[in-house]
């Protein structure tokens, strides 16, 4: 509970009431540049300056930043039914993903989640193993052609590899040839979403502004990639006797309830959602993991030791992951220090009380895993990278303190998939290669995901 709870005197501002502390309009203007340049750092500052519940002084809509673990847990889990996704963030995302699972608001979401959940069950997820190793090895084959002490852009390599893995393991499609185009189309579309979210005036999608044209082009490319995925499936489905494993696309195509299955628009929206949600997130997390391992050589050595002892030189399989607790702890801790999805948002249906402050109906509530992971009520020495926090003998994190995948009913459906993929990739790379930083300390750039500004150059060296 916030110590100044209840002491705040409500004030009117335009059409809304100010019900919690926060910057004045003047202070907000003076911070605009900082907020644009480093939005995640700006939110941390706001928390430090104004407390657990901060209200931004917008005269038309009430916007709150909520950071204390107890309040975060209330919004996302305990009282989740009071909070939907009708926010600028998700409305903009829906321009790309349509009404797919990630951006869907409450009612449409419920049906979709039930339909799609089986595709992410344990058994289905386990299929990610061989594809992850295959695609990682393809990346490592390129490294093999380089001499020791070469510099690679890890951010770039992780982006390409993560996209290929999503394509192959979810949709059985080899996106390798198309990877460049699809990756660029996804990024372009997401860039425009960020630009829209940051501009006070946005033009309707049909107006031929440069950004709208760029969005239309990116969407055309993404839709083209989806069509290729579906065409390929039709080709395989038409060939009798083709022996292959059931993948996510089969499960999506087979999913049905009383209202029937997913129609072609719904299928398109889910596939684009999985490409968007399952690509840059994993890539960002892996990129930061390698940066942290490069900056903490002692941790990298311990990782190598675990990997060598468990795998004895052979490629990792999904069965190995339970025997790689330190590798798992590294993944978990990297996601704490650098949560790729640094901000999520909700819209309240009815009035609520958070940290002792009134949150009126129809307010926007901003939750930032980045800020809460740095909150002193959540973690000690929050800025320190320490995988031991997540070793099996460490205490379980308190509710609302750890949310790289969100919490509550809208929690990431791809969590287990992402962790498995990350563990397999990291262990495979660590088996053969040693990485160290080749540039200065990277500056986190918080757009849709947090990525290092200008990429992440690292030296690669063969082990032994």
Residue with Cβ nearer ligand HEM (252 or 282): 282
Interacting stretch for ligand HEM, rule CB under 6 A, among 11-19, 197-205, 274-282, 452-460?
A: 274-282
Site for ligand HEM in 227-256 (CB under 6 A): none
| Residue 277 in contact with ligand HEM, rule: CB under 6 A | yes
User: DSSP class of residue 151?
Assistant: E
| Residue 16 in contact with ligand HEM, rule: CB under 6 A | no
Interacting stretch for ligand HEM, rule CB under 6 A, among 20-28, 142-150, 308-316, 398-406?
A: 398-406
Residue with Cβ nearer ligand HEM (16 or 40): 40
Contacts of 205 by beta carbon, 8 Å cutoff, 6+ apart: 95, 212, 215, 216
| Residue 72 in contact with ligand HEM, rule: CB under 6 A | no
Question: ∠ at Cα 307 (444, 320), nearest 5°?
Answer: 100
Contact criterion met (CB below 8 Å) for 85 and 382: no
The three-state secondary structure class of 23 is: coil
Site for ligand HEM in 400-419 (CB under 6 A): 404-406, 410, 412-414, 417-418
Residue with Cβ nearer ligand HEM (418 or 429): 418
| Residue 172 in contact with ligand HEM, rule: CB under 6 A | no
Interacting stretch for ligand HEM, rule CB under 6 A, among 40-48, 60-68, 188-196, 273-281?
A: 273-281
Q: Note the Cα 294 to chain centre separation in Å.
A: 22
| Residue 80 in contact with ligand HEM, rule: CB under 6 A | no
Task: Report how far apart the first and last C-alpha atoms of the chain are (Å, whole number).
Answer: 54
Integer angstrom CA distances of residue 291 from 22, 146, 153, 443: 35, 20, 11, 11
The binder of ligand HEM chosen from 273, 304, 327, 372 (CB under 6 A): 273
Contact criterion met (CB below 8 Å) for 276 and 102: yes
Shortest CB 205 distance to ligand HEM, Å? 22
Contact criterion met (CB below 8 Å) for 149 and 437: no
Of all residues in the chain, what percent are helix, strand and coil, respectively (each to 5)? Answer: 55, 10, 35
Residue in the structure block whose two tokens are 């949709």: 171
Going by their DSSP bridges, the two strands 364-367 and 63-66 should be labelled as parallel
Contact criterion met (CB below 8 Å) for 342 and 372: no
Residue with Cβ nearer ligand HEM (170 or 430): 170
Interacting stretch for ligand HEM, rule CB under 6 A, among 139-147, 179-187, 255-263, 270-278?
A: 270-278
| Residue 450 in contact with ligand HEM, rule: CB under 6 A | no
Quick one: CA dihedral 276, 449, 162, 160, positive or negative?
A: positive
Shortest CB 395 distance to ligand HEM, Å? 23
Contact criterion met (CB below 8 Å) for 218 and 192: yes
Shortest CB 153 distance to ligand HEM, Å? 19
| Residue 285 in contact with ligand HEM, rule: CB under 6 A | yes
Phi, psi of 179 (to 5 degrees): -55, -45
Distance in angstroms (rounded) separating the CA atoms of residues 251 and 263: 14
The binder of ligand HEM chosen from 55, 92, 188, 281 (CB under 6 A): 281
What is the token pair recorded at 267?
């299928």
Residue, CB closest to ligand HEM? 414
| Residue 86 in contact with ligand HEM, rule: CB under 6 A | no
Residue with Cβ nearer ligand HEM (412 or 429): 412
| Residue 344 in contact with ligand HEM, rule: CB under 6 A | yes
The binder of ligand HEM chosen from 54, 66, 102, 378 (CB under 6 A): 102
Shortest CB 83 distance to ligand HEM, Å? 10
What is the token pair recorded at 227?
């069509």
Positions that interact with ligand HEM (CB under 6 A): 101-102, 109, 113, 170, 273-274, 277-278, 281-282, 285, 340-341, 344, 404-406, 410, 412-414, 417-418
């Amino acid at each position: 509970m916030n110590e100044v709870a209840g002491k705040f005197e409500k004030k009117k501002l335009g059409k809304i009431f100010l019900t919690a502390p926060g910057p004045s309009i003047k202070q907000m203007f003076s911070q605009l540049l900082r907020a644009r340049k480093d939005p995640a750092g700006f939110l941390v500052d706001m928390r430090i300056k104004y407390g657990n519940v901060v209200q931004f002084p917008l005269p038309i809509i009430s916007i709150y930043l909520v950071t204390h673990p107890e309040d975060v847990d209330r919004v996302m889990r305990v009282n989740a039914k009071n909070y939907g996704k009708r926010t600028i963030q998700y409305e903009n995302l829906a321009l790309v993903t349509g009404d797919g699972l990630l951006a869907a608001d409450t009612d449409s979401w419920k049906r979709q989640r039930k339909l799609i959940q089986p595709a992410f069950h344990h058994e289905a997820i386990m299929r990610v193993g061989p594809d992850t190793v295959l695609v990682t090895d393809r990346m490592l084959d390129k490294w093999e052609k380089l001499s020791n002490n070469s510099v690679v852009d890890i951010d770039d390599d992780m982006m390409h590899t993560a996209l290929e893995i999503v394509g192959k393991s979810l949709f059985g499609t080899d996106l390798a040839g198309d990877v460049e185009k699809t990756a660029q189309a996804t990024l372009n579309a997401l860039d425009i979403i960020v630009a829209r979210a940051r501009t006070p005036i946005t033009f309707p999608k049909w107006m031929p502004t440069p950004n709208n044209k760029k969005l239309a082009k990116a969407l055309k490319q993404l839709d083209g990639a989806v069509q290729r995925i579906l065409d390929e499936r039709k080709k395989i489905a038409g060939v009798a006797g083709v022996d292959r494993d059931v993948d996510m696309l089969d499960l999506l195509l087979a999913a049905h309830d009383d209202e029937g299955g997913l129609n072609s628009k719904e299928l398109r929206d889910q596939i684009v959602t999985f490409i968007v949600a399952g690509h840059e997130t994993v890539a960002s997390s892996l990129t930061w993991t390698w940066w942290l391992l490069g900056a903490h050589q002692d941790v990298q050595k311990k990782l190598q030791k675990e990997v060598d002892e468990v795998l004895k030189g052979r490629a990792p399989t999904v069965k190995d992951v339970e025997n790689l607790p330190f590798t798992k702890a590294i993944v978990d801790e990297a996601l704490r220090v650098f949560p790729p999805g640094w901000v999520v948002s909700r819209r309240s249906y009815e009035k609520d009380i958070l940290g002792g402050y009134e949150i009126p109906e129809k307010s926007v509530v901003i939750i930032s895993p980045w800020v809460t992971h740095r909150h002193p009520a959540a973690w000690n020495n929050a800025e320190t990278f320490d995988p031991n926090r997540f070793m099996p003998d460490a205490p379980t994190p308190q509710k609302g303190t750890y949310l790289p995948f969100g919490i509550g009913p809208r929690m990431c459906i791809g969590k287990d998939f992402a962790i498995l993929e990350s563990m397999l990739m990291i262990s495979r790379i660590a088996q053969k290669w040693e990485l160290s930083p080749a540039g200065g300390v990277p500056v986190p750039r918080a757009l849709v995901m947090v990525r290092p500004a200008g990429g992440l150059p690292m030296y690669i060296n063969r082990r032994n």
